[in-house]
Structure 1
């Protein structure tokens, strides 16, 4: 249910879970029983119990906007509209990052709105809440909301919250799949870079970004202990946020660095405008990694707008539809990513935090052993205790995808638990 929702879930008494002579579950036998209707009584009983449970918390849809939103939810999750409650949460129903884009697209079409912000959909995943937000847009309530870098991706659970800083592309959708694994365990907050919404200035320095994020952590969780992490570029930002919190006298019990070395300035200087745009395009699934590497010499001689045209023409049309990506939007996203690169060009790590947990995957360039020994292990100079170094599956850019996130979350959560969280 956390990755791709199954078509059916059928509870079966243990004594009917037939096993082979080797003691393994007879999946073939169960599949045959299901297809032939042999599990019908269990399915009926499960539906009866689910109906009773949902009836206890079910809130009827009361406005046209709620009914429209519910209809879209029902279509995405293959449910009857009558089964959707006004209190249903998009992500708890099984919504993925791609489903968010579909919801955005269908809601904009239904309500005839030019734009429903993805981030507002993430912040308003409950049917009634999203309907109220849409109503505000329809009523032309153009009040500019104050920038808040923190996006709550899930809020259930009583354990210490985790705060995760965005990678160099600045967005948080990449964490949607990971956040689901923390449901009913601990809240999961992600940082989103400034500049995506109209009228928002981009960050001008690392210090400005870190000050903004540290203050947001304190607003969200006034007292420690804290758990902070950062993916790729976000790792050094998270490190600086943790330093700020400790300087204020707070306890940081977990500081996670996902595939990022302490010294990034040299790499930031190597990324020219063309390389940055190609890296963003690769991260968004518009081109392959080999294309990102091979196209650089060719595109570097073209004006920036022609580079964008080239990438958009080369991108799979269905991917552009999924992301609702236009030339103007890609150009703006590229500008945000470049602003983050500029913030990192003068970054020199200093000081230390009480502890560090470093997670490493296959790097963008070079071998994994060289990456670990020569690039990541220097983090030891910035921790007052010996850091841990943990191998995680996948490449640098595929850590959070459907194939790798199930294993990554297990490893990540085990380190949180090892730190007493």
Structure 2
């Protein structure tokens, strides 16, 4: 044991001070910590009485400490029935720290930081609580929240708990089905949500997800929107904007928050769903607060002056755990962005001068495998403690921290959502042994059990004493039967947690993973059935089983064993689809590392699947229960299939392939990327593609454009492209890129403002036409040439590229948004050159309009009025304020008092792409469409107007003199190439289909759900 791992604690830790209080009161000397723990277990009532007296009552908790606990049975025991408290007031009151002390720092993905003092945070919580109370929210109501980890989430959580309502949270990266499995049974009254999308989001826009969830929660009365995103819901309920609530001062009589019983339901957390839907675990306010105070103050020595950052989402219990640290006077740090690079969290810890950093074994392993040495890259002098949880932290990772981070103690803590706290954790003064948690939680008789009694070595973790943070029960479990079955049926009289633990001679603990069917993958616990049910819903999968396989120290792989339907094969495209669906509908953490096709799964004689036998087979071991199986012969087949799959994985490529697989996994949030996995099928976009190509340039010296990744969208194809040399790389950098091969004349797809056609990938995937599709991308997207700023010049350049692919017409050209403007100019120039066109398809392009002052003012007034009428009433003032601010900025720009605002300002994109975006914006501003006399143009129009633009249809009807067919698609502008891509693709497929008769070419009926204006002459 290295003495450098001992904590550099103050001379008198809070644990030592409290130990002295107990010694004075009881006469016990407590020479060593193990003496203290043994006494706290034997005299747990006395321990909790003294602890509440010293650390809880000063926070404003009122009432008598007698009785400490009613009953000795862990399942039924009730702590401090005479105490009353308000959780939010206990966290924010002056007893923990003065109002001027720092309370919260919210770090955002764009690098900006917001901060609040305790007084400021208290005031904002009070304002929101008053607004919620005015709408009738109060004791007994249930509130659900889909939140990013930012300051608004903290304010909302505290406001809800201040009123005695019960809060349940989920993370925005969860799929709609997974969220509804958790929120649906609660019949919530209030839904709290962020709705603004971020560049790093995957899946559908967040506002669509919030809307989909809200519409299936019939009990909702209103929705609290935490950001300036689109109004997510248009149902019968009311919307409240956080900004509006915070702008209104608290009136007399609204500031007092009532006290509630010790067992007031505070949080409803969610189990992994082992036996079906996730169980809704109800935690009381008093028990949660008391346990957190013990863990924060005694075991972690958190105090005023500390800055705590735990990397967590709002859907994990560590977010609630960190929130409660406000009761110890700590400043908490939140971060709402992704781990955009392996060093991102270390950078945050250094920049924010974090003193206590909480992370996971997975992130520490990622840092180690990347060769990162944080102490050499960052100033970590403020860091005094590193905490890790979510999975087993192995001895080698303790050593890596010591060697690469510095002499910082590492506390591996373990407990769970079930108890909203820890069974084993740290000690501020004990040394830390590699691979070991220094101690068990005080007043918790944590033991390793085997065969119904305590054992030496590894056993099942049980707790044999009552504890305050035991759940109140499961929501909806009226008779308590499910609660009893989950924790007390296996070993009556003790809490059975489901983990494997080893109690060390020093009184510490080593964790050895789960001992039941719940999977723990990269720190996220979930039931296999969640994934299995989804796999079977997708189709083509008859049976499925998920098993873990050890892959070296500290490493596990999650394998999906699939029995496919007759005639189905497990090809790369199917695997890509399975991964995409699981990541979107559940979460990236649910995605298996490998999919393996097997002829059958092991089952017992009663027909029950045997995960234990399958685990032994994938590990190459002999199954201990083979005699109990109906089909033991299948184990050899499973073993061989897994060996082939894993050999294929090991052969997947060389050093560059390994780097690319790790990079794609990090960017896309999908584990175990294969050589044949398609970047865009897994959720890639132009911003992520730019990051990939920047790393390729860094690693190989080869500069590829975004078009290269369109041409070579798998790791195997990209490596082959690099290996073929400069000639092919030049071809991949051309302005025209083959996005899909096919037969017949091609469809040319023109880029939008981003400069690439990648934004239309969902549309491309939905097209059923057999034609090849070529994407036209902007000059300068590679950063080597100056982008063009004139639509006519772009069209001429692209026509030269098109003629190299298709020597003569008829041509088919389509463009989305700004690409539609360029597509029309291409058609005009081709027609002027005597060429014919079979299709000109414009996907909702908008244009700047030249109007006289009076007409411009009149149209702008109509436009603004329409937009404001569509907004929730309380959002109108905020929108008007933003418009006024922008008007002032424009006046300053015209006067030369400030530089003109770049179109790309505030958008997270690489420099080359930002430059293209700025030039495209300038081109659109300067563009004035000329008359087009060609055959009718297909115009696909989004029903919801594009914000910031006037209705473009009068202009297009005037310009398109050969006729115009309009197909209206529900939704907003960007949804045409996202959520509504299937509908748009069907319209294009119909237009490209061979004509069935003379009139079919221009007068075919639009798709169901679309509205057509038909062909109309120019006005």
- By the TM > 0.5 criterion, same fold? yes
8 A Cα contact 1:162 1:229, kept in partner: yes
What secondary structure does 2:984 align onto? helix
Matches of residues 346-361 of structure 1 in structure 2 within 5 Å? 347-361=928-942
Structure 1 match to 2:656: 65
Structure 1 match to 2:823: 238
Structure 1 match to 2:811: 226
Structure 2 match to 1:100: 689
Matches of residues 6-155 of structure 1 in structure 2 within 5 Å? 10=535, 42=563, 47-48=596-597, 61-73=652-664, 76=668, 78=670, 80=672, 84-85=674-675, 88=676, 90-91=678-679, 93-97=681-685, 99-100=688-689, 103-104=692-693, 111=699, 117-131=705-719, 148-152=734-738, 154-155=739-740
Cα gap change, 1:135/1:226 in structure 2, threshold over 3 Å: closer, same or farther? same
8 A Cα contact 1:358 1:388, kept in partner: yes
Higher helix share: 1
Shift in Å, 1:213: 1.2
Matches of residues 292-371 of structure 1 in structure 2 within 5 Å? 293=883, 295-300=885-890, 301=892, 307=901, 312=906, 320=908, 323=909, 325=910, 332-341=915-924, 343-344=926-927, 347-361=928-942, 362-364=944-946, 371=952
Shift in Å, 1:391: 0.6
| Larger gyration radius, structure 1 or structure 2 | 2
Q: 2-side partners of 1:307 and 1:348: how far apart?
A: 25
What secondary structure does 2:597 align onto? helix
Structure 2 match to 1:22: none
Shift in Å, 1:104: 4.4
Q: 1:42-68, CA deviations, whole angstroms, 9 ceiling, x for partnerless residues?
A: 35996437989x99xx89645432343
Matches of residues 177-188 of structure 1 in structure 2 within 5 Å? 177-182=762-767, 185-188=770-773
Shift in Å, 1:179: 1.8
Question: Does 2:967 match 1:390?
Answer: yes
What secondary structure does 2:563 align onto? helix
8 A Cα contact 1:72 1:107, kept in partner: no
Q: 2-side partners of 1:134 and 1:42: how far apart?
A: 37
8 A Cα contact 1:166 1:172, kept in partner: yes
Q: Out of 930, 943, 957, which is 1:377 matched to? A: 957
Q: 2-side partners of 1:306 and 1:7: how far apart?
A: 51
Q: 1:21-52, CA deviations, whole angstroms, 9 ceiling, x for partnerless residues?
A: xxxxxxxxx9xx989xxx97735996437989
Higher strand share: 2
Unaligned runs of 5+ in 1: 18-29, 272-288
Question: Does 2:987 match 1:411?
Answer: yes
Cα gap change, 1:292/1:398 in structure 2, threshold over 3 Å: closer, same or farther? farther
Q: 2-side partners of 1:207 and 1:309: how far apart?
A: 21
Cα gap change, 1:400/1:367 in structure 2, threshold over 3 Å: closer, same or farther? same
8 A Cα contact 2:749 2:775, kept in partner: yes
Shift in Å, 1:297: 1.5
8 A Cα contact 1:308 1:331, kept in partner: no
Calculate the TM-score normalised by the size of structure 1.
0.63
What secondary structure does 1:296 align onto? helix
Q: 2-side partners of 1:146 and 1:379: how far apart?
A: 36
Q: How many residues align?
A: 352
Shift in Å, 1:255: 0.8
Cα gap change, 1:148/1:102 in structure 2, threshold over 3 Å: closer, same or farther? closer
Q: 1:4-33, CA deviations, whole angstroms, 9 ceiling, x for partnerless residues?
A: 599667469x9x99xxxxxxxxxxxx9xx9
Q: 1-side partners of 2:706 and 2:964: how far apart?
A: 36
8 A Cα contact 1:96 1:176, kept in partner: no
8 A Cα contact 1:149 1:193, kept in partner: yes
